[in-house]
Amino acid sequence: AWQARGGLTDTLRWQRLEAAADAGQPAIMRAAARGLGRAADQALAAAYAAFIASPATTSAQDWPADARSRRIALAGLLQLARADPDQTEARLPGIADALGLDPGQRGQVRYQIALWTVASYLPAAARRR
C-alpha cells in the first residue's frame, strides 16, 4: 500500500542501493533491491550486493558496462584494496576492461592498493609506492 501511494520509486531504490554500495553495506543494498519493479533489476542489484559483500570472489564480468556498474565495481575494489591489496591488483585489469573504468577510476584503485600495501608493511611496498 505504501509503495502504491508513492513510496520508494525504482529511481530512489537505485539511489539508496548506490549509496549503500559506497558505504560498504550489502544488507541495505539487498533490502533496496527487493522492491525493484523488474526481476532483471532485482537480479542485477543482488549481483551488485554480492560483489560488495565479497569483492575478492564475486564476478563483475557480466554486468552492463554503464556508470552504475562502474560505480559499484569501484566501491568494491576500493574496499578490497584495504583488505587485500594483492588480490585487488590481480582483479583490477579484468574488471576495469570489462566495465570500461576510466583512467581516474583505475588510478583511485591503484592509489588505495599502494596505500594499503605500505600501511600493512606488505612485501610489495617498494614496488607500489
Side-chain-side CA neighbours of residue 63 (13 Å): 29
Could you tell me the pTM of the whole model?
0.87
Instruction: Label residues 81-119 b or e (16+ Cβ within 10 Å = b).
Output: beebbebbbebbeebbebbebeeebbebbbebbbebbee
**Nearest Cα to Cα of residue 78 among 47, 111, 102, 49:** 111
pLDDT digits (tens, 9 = 90+) for 35-72: 999 999 999 999 999 999 999 999 999 999 999 999 99
pLDDT digits (tens, 9 = 90+) for 80-120: 999 999 999 999 999 999 999 999 999 999 999 999 888 77
> What share of the chain in percent tops pLDDT 70?
88
The residue ranges of every structural domain in the chain are 1-54, 62-129
